[in-house]
Amino acid sequence: MCQLLGMNCNTPTDICFSFTGFQARGGLTDHHRDGWGIAFYDGNGVRIFLDAQATIDSPIAALVRHYPIRSKNVIAHIRKATRGAIGLENTHPFQRELWGRYWIFAHNGHLRDFAPDFDGSFLPVGATDSERAFCYILQSLRMQFPQGEPDADSLYQALRALAGELGAYGEFNFLLADGLRLYAHCASRLAYIVRQAPFGVAHLKDQDLSVDFKEVTTPDDRVAVIATIPLTDDEPWQQIDRGTLLAFKDGQAVHYDDMKTGAGCEPGCSLEAVA
Amino acid sequence: MCQLLGMNCNTPTDICFSFTGFQARGGLTDHHRDGWGIAFYDGNGVRIFLDAQATIDSPIAALVRHYPIRSKNVIAHIRKATRGAIGLENTHPFQRELWGRYWIFAHNGHLRDFAPDFDGSFLPVGATDSERAFCYILQSLRMQFPQGEPDADSLYQALRALAGELGAYGEFNFLLADGLRLYAHCASRLAYIVRQAPFGVAHLKDQDLSVDFKEVTTPDDRVAVIATIPLTDDEPWQQIDRGTLLAFKDGQAVHYDDMKTGAGCEPGCSLEAVA
């Protein structure tokens, strides 16, 4: 099993604090040692750092922790290999281009016997069920909207239907971004917090480290952080309901009338415990 | 104008020495300050580092210089912005997936009035003529080989024809890789060297640094390094003929009967001097 971390903000923000706690789970406080990756949008561009080593041993992770890369949309993943060998081609997040935008995807869970027909527009490079799911989502979107990028509501509805369709194959927690929005689907375990004024102090669960957000923000900043398991032990993280797809924009969850995908797992559905 | 660096080897090799000299051209010994990037294949996976800063100021470049990432195919680029603003989405190398492989591309030169029709299969994210050329090449390959990846000879012939077609729009020096081979097209300026046993000492042009390759190689190693301008001042670099497409595999240029693309620029064709 793997762990997910996402961030969506209304102003470019660094993720050093959250990544410090997240990184500790890659071999120090937890056993996700089979690679990690993090993607940062910067305008329409994307910068991805991938490493098949455990985060805790990785000089690239040390760089990411210490070098403040500011971004409005970030997706990170640490991997415990269950499907597909350890290797860079199987390391999340994955990247593809659709409609002249880079899309980024990371998955936590398993899809059993998911072997869709591919038309060649997006093909997996590695051997994970996760990359297959990502390619299938993009192929389906392109097929459904042949004229190009639809409006935000239509895109959300299409993604919700796809999350439901693929969730029928197993546990499908994922983070997906197109540079405009960050989508978070909870099948079994995913939580988030929105930090905004008045900002306070927060303390990491996985490292003895606190930050006073008052000192590093302006009153207009708003930052949503999404994680498999809450990263701090003194903030009111909100569990996302199972079978729900949230769309984040400008640091908050955009609400739709019906956010249910029908792909929530029953408690205990995980093949392996998350933590 | 920009500078290109490529490496193709028969065994995974680090590029720390060559990158040290190349990096100096990004703001220290030369004026290519508008971003840089480097892509390393690792099996079928790819790891790309991109930065819109000058290499010489970049903590990410410092990491790449000091942390030996071993790879059989590497493409790097430093940018002097001439088309498209400074920004991550305009930073080379570019990446796309075709036939279940990652393709990497970097370009030096200008294509004037190159505005092809895109069918939506590969769309530029940024605003460079280079990314447009890359998308057009991949779209053309997919169209030409609808059954999927052709044999190496057919692929080479198709790329040679495309290099000729696009080279008619201007100066089209490029490096392109699919993880199996590295293609190098010289329109105006590109040189290479093959290092193999007996290995000797080499000294960088741009930094006072030497390496004794005997100490860091085995007798079977073979490494081809390709660069806009030779990186060392005491090795027999070979200029690639203008209007020639070379395909490198296992550290050597694969020879074809006819490597001419018809897209060699006359001496002095550059809009700006390369160095």
Q: What's the rounded mean pLDDT across residues B195-203?
A: 92
A123 neighbourhood in chain B, CB within 8 Å: 97, 99-100
Residues of B contacting chain A (CB within 8 angstroms): 42-52, 59-60, 63, 67, 87-91, 95-97, 99-102, 120-126, 142, 146, 148
Whether B185 is in a domain gets the answer: yes
* Separation of alpha carbons A188 and A108, rounded Å: 9
Whether residues A124 and B148 touch (CB distance < 8 A) is answered with: no
Nearest to B48 by CA among B24, B16, B77: B77
Catalytic residue IDs of B: 2
Identify the sign of the CA torsion A218, A222, A228, A230. Answer: positive
pLDDT tens per residue across span A205-219: 888 889 888 888 899
Tell me: pLDDT of B261 over 70: yes
Whether A38 is in a domain gets the answer: yes
Whether A265 is in a domain gets the answer: no
Tell me: pLDDT of A269 over 80: no
Nearest to B69 by CA among B46, B97, B96: B46
Per 3-state DSSP, chain A is made up of helix, strand and coil in percentages (nearest 5) of 20, 35, 45
Can you tell me whether residue B132 is helix, strand or coil? helix
At a CB cut-off of 8 Å and minimum separation 6, what does B173 contact? B4, B107, B108, B109, B185, B186, B187, B188, B189, B190, B228
Tell me: pLDDT of B197 over 80: yes
pLDDT of residue A267: 59
Q: How many A/B residue pairs have CB atoms within 8 Å?
A: 93
* Separation of alpha carbons B134 and B155, rounded Å: 15
Q: Which of A49, A125, A142 sits opposite B97 (nearest CB)?
A: A125
Whether A261 is in a domain gets the answer: no
Whether residues B45 and A124 touch (CB distance < 8 A) is answered with: no
Which ranges of A76-128 does DSSP label H, i.e. alpha helix? none
Whether B205 is in a domain gets the answer: yes
Tell me: pLDDT of B229 over 70: yes
Residue with tokens 């398993």: A110
Cis peptide before A267 (omega within 30 of 0): no
pLDDT of residue B100: 98
pLDDT tens per residue across span A66-107: 888 899 999 999 887 666 678 899 999 999 999 999 999 999
| Total count of domains within chain A | 1
pLDDT tens per residue across span B27-65: 666 665 678 999 999 999 999 999 887 766 788 888 888
pLDDT of residue B271: 47
**Angle formed at CA A68 by CA B46 and CA A97, multiple of 5 degrees:** 35
Whether residues A123 and B50 touch (CB distance < 8 A) is answered with: no
Residue A31: pLDDT band (50, 70, 90) is low
Q: Which of A49, A91, A97 sits opposite B45 (nearest CB)?
A: A91
Whether residues A120 and B142 touch (CB distance < 8 A) is answered with: yes
Tokens of A24: 């500790």
Kindly report whether the global pTM for this prediction surpasses the value 0.90.
yes
Tokens of A81: 């290999």
The boundaries of the domain holding residue A207 are: 3-254
Tell me: pLDDT of B238 over 80: yes
Instruction: Report the CATH number at residue A141.
Output: 3.60.20.10
pLDDT tens per residue across span B112-148: 999 999 999 999 999 999 999 999 999 999 999 999 9
Burial class (CB in 10 A: 0-12, 13-18, 19+), A121: middle
Tell me: pLDDT of B210 over 80: yes
pLDDT of residue B118: 97
Whether residues A88 and B43 touch (CB distance < 8 A) is answered with: yes
Least confident of A217-226, B89-98, B175-184, B264-273: B264-273
Q: What's the rounded mean pLDDT across residues A38-62?
A: 87
The crossing angle, in degrees rounded to 10, of helices B152-167 and B129-144 is 140
Q: What is the DSSP letter of A213?
A: G
The residue type at B176: L
Q: What's the rounded mean pLDDT across residues B197-209?
A: 89
CB of A254 closer than 8 Å to CB of A247 = yes
Helix (H) or strand (E) holding A134: helix A129-144
Identify the sign of the CA torsion A121, A124, A275, A46. Answer: negative
Dmax over CA atoms of chain A, in Å, equals 51
* Separation of alpha carbons B18 and A19, rounded Å: 32
Rounded percentage of chain A residues whose pLDDT exceeds 70: 91
Whether B265 is in a domain gets the answer: no
pLDDT of residue A27: 59
Name the residue of chain A whose CA is nearest to B89's CA.
A45
pLDDT of residue B131: 97
Residue A8: pLDDT band (50, 70, 90) is very high
Write the Ramachandran bin of B142: left for phi over 0, alpha for psi from -120 to 50, otherwise beta.
Answer: alpha
Whether B50 is in a domain gets the answer: yes
Other beta carbons within 10 angstroms of residue B260's beta carbon come to: 15
* Separation of alpha carbons B199 and B190, rounded Å: 23
Q: Which of B63, B88, B100 sits opposite A125 (nearest CB)?
A: B100
pLDDT of residue A29: 64
A60 neighbourhood in chain B, CB within 8 Å: 63, 67
Tell me: pLDDT of A131 over 70: yes
Q: What is the DSSP letter of B246?
A: E
A59 neighbourhood in chain B, CB within 8 Å: 63, 67
* Separation of alpha carbons A94 and A71, rounded Å: 18
Other beta carbons within 10 angstroms of residue B252's beta carbon come to: 18
Q: Which of A49, A88, A123 sits opposite B42 (nearest CB)?
A: A88
Whether residues B42 and A120 touch (CB distance < 8 A) is answered with: no
- ipTM of this predicted structure: 0.92
Whether B261 is in a domain gets the answer: no
From residue A24, give the alpha-carbon distance in Å to each of A61, A74, A91, A93, A193: 10, 18, 18, 18, 20
Q: How far is CA B48 from the centre of its chain?
A: 13
pLDDT of residue A20: 86
- β-partners of residue A238 are A192
Mean pLDDT, chain A, rounded, equals 89
At a CB cut-off of 8 Å and minimum separation 6, what does B123 contact? A97, A99, A100, B135
Per 3-state DSSP, chain B is made up of helix, strand and coil in percentages (nearest 5) of 20, 35, 45
* Separation of alpha carbons B40 and A50, rounded Å: 11
Query: In angstroms, what separates the C-alpha of B124 from chain A's closest C-alpha?
Result: 5
